Chain A
């Protein structure tokens, strides 16, 4: 039971942190719950499908289907996170400057919530498919079903609790500063996902690793520890990164960051 609890908790934690950040970043946006619920629902459905076709995915592309699939969904999420932040740079100031509440709501309503919903869906799909594979294989091999269900349920509750903790933590921030904080969090989230995607591309043999172990900080913080894992999701922390992971991480920060800056400056110039 405990083993199931820990494994399910770890997988749920990653998705729940993403959902917590997205919820915080969409404060005051109409219809956000519907979008995010669609993202979670779609992610769960996708997780079951991916788990069901795991064998087919694995055998595709000369046995490199898993790597390419995970890299593809990670880079899709990076693109959506980037697009959201770039949009915010263009319109965030208008939103803050708009005196009327109705005007603010109209603008907020045009915010690309589909982008964040897709990110939520991808996070849930990715972690969820592992949970489905794991639990299904225990059930199919006649494992301890009641213990598995209890462990799974407790793991889910604990993981969702962690997501709730980051959401309510971010709720303390006043609205005028909130989007600055959430834009930073989303930028780091994107860079971290790009670095994970790069590792899958190395595994598929598409890009060179540029060094297997650029540095090793596992004596300070292992990736398997709770804090290590939270930082892994939030900032892309990797105890022993490959060179290419750092390249993708920094390139993502630079590309999204400079586009945000450019559009903000343009906007100020027009105003």
Chain B
């Protein structure tokens, strides 16, 4: 059942396409050491609120050298960071405690 729900969620994400910023901001989950979604589009030149929810059992550190953010996310916890305004371009972020876990912000 859980697997079915996850599959459905992934399918919705897939057809919904890139997530755009709105007033509520962007939510990025960390699940099974993956960022979901791992590519996030944001408007260039605008300050954006990003909430990172850690759904794994391990501590993560949401970090980006490209847009200067660094914040520990407890297992099952969430953090908020404000990012930007950024120029157009691609900005990488990663989990400093699991460096293979990577994603990108695309400022358009």
Residues on A lying within 8 angstroms of B by beta carbon are 3, 6-7, 54-55, 58, 63, 66-67, 130, 133-134, 136-138, 140-141, 143, 199-200, 202-203, 205, 209, 212-213, 218, 222-224, 239-240, 242
**Given contact pairs A130-B97, A212-B84, a sample of 19 additional A-B residue pairs in the complex whose CB atoms are under 8 Å apart:** A3-B99, A6-B99, A7-B97, A54-B74, A55-B77, A63-B80, A66-B71, A66-B72, A66-B79, A137-B58, A140-B75, A141-B57, A141-B75, A203-B68, A203-B69, A212-B87, A224-B65, A240-B65, A240-B66
Q: Chain B nearest CB: distance from A139 CB in Å?
A: 10
Bound state CA distance, A6 and B79, in angstroms? 25
Name the B residues within 8 Å of A202 (CB-CB).
68
Chain B 77-108, CB within 8 Å of chain A: the 1/0 string? 10111101111000000001111000000000
Point out the residue from B69, B82, B84, B97 that lies within 8 Å of A137, measured CB to CB: B97
- A138 x B58 contact (CB < 8 A): yes
How many contacting A-B pairs (Cβ < 8 A)? 74
Name the B residues within 8 Å of A200 (CB-CB).
70
User: Across the two chains, which residue of chain B brings its CB closest to A4?
Assistant: B97
- B57 x A140 contact (CB < 8 A): yes
- B97 x A134 contact (CB < 8 A): yes
Tell me whether B55 is interfacial, beta carbon within 8 Å: no
Tell me whether B59 is interfacial, beta carbon within 8 Å: yes
User: Across the two chains, which residue of chain A brings its CB closest to B77?
Assistant: A55
Bound state CA distance, A202 and B96, in angstroms? 20
- B75 x A137 contact (CB < 8 A): yes
Name the B residues within 8 Å of A66 (CB-CB).
71-72, 79
Q: Chain A nearest CB: distance from B68 CB in Å?
A: 5
Q: How large is the interface on B (under 10, 10 to 19, 20 to 34, 35 or more residues)?
A: 20 to 34
Q: Chain A nearest CB: distance from B25 CB in Å?
A: 13
Name the A residues within 8 Å of B85 (CB-CB).
212
Name the A residues within 8 Å of B70 (CB-CB).
199-200, 203
Name the B residues within 8 Å of A138 (CB-CB).
58
Bound state CA distance, A213 and B79, in angstroms? 24
Whether A141 touches B68, Cβ cut-off 8 Å, given contacts A63-B80, A203-B81, is no
- B77 x A58 contact (CB < 8 A): yes
User: Across the two chains, which residue of chain A brings its CB closest to B75?
Assistant: A137
User: Across the two chains, which residue of chain B brings its CB closest to A66?
Assistant: B71
Tell me whether B41 is interfacial, beta carbon within 8 Å: no
User: Across the two chains, which residue of chain B brings its CB closest to A134?
Assistant: B97
The listed residue with most A CB atoms (<10 A of its CB), out of B67, B77, B84, B97, is: B97
What would be 24 A-B contacts, judged by CB atoms less than 8 Å apart? Answer: A6-B99, A7-B96, A7-B97, A58-B74, A66-B72, A130-B61, A133-B59, A134-B59, A137-B58, A137-B59, A137-B75, A141-B57, A141-B58, A141-B75, A199-B70, A200-B70, A203-B70, A203-B82, A209-B68, A212-B85, A213-B87, A223-B65, A240-B66, A240-B68
Bound state CA distance, A61 and B57, in angstroms? 25
User: Across the two chains, which residue of chain B brings its CB closest to A239?
Assistant: B65
Bound state CA distance, A137 and B33, in angstroms? 13
- B66 x A203 contact (CB < 8 A): no
The listed residue with most A CB atoms (<10 A of its CB), out of B59, B82, B85, is: B59
Bound state CA distance, A55 and B76, in angstroms? 11
Bound state CA distance, A189 and B55, in angstroms? 37
Whether A212 touches B86, Cβ cut-off 8 Å, given contacts A3-B99, A54-B72, A63-B80, is yes
Point out the residue from A55, A212, A218 that lies within 8 Å of B67, measured CB to CB: A212
Point out the residue from A55, A133, A205 that lies within 8 Å of B82, measured CB to CB: A205
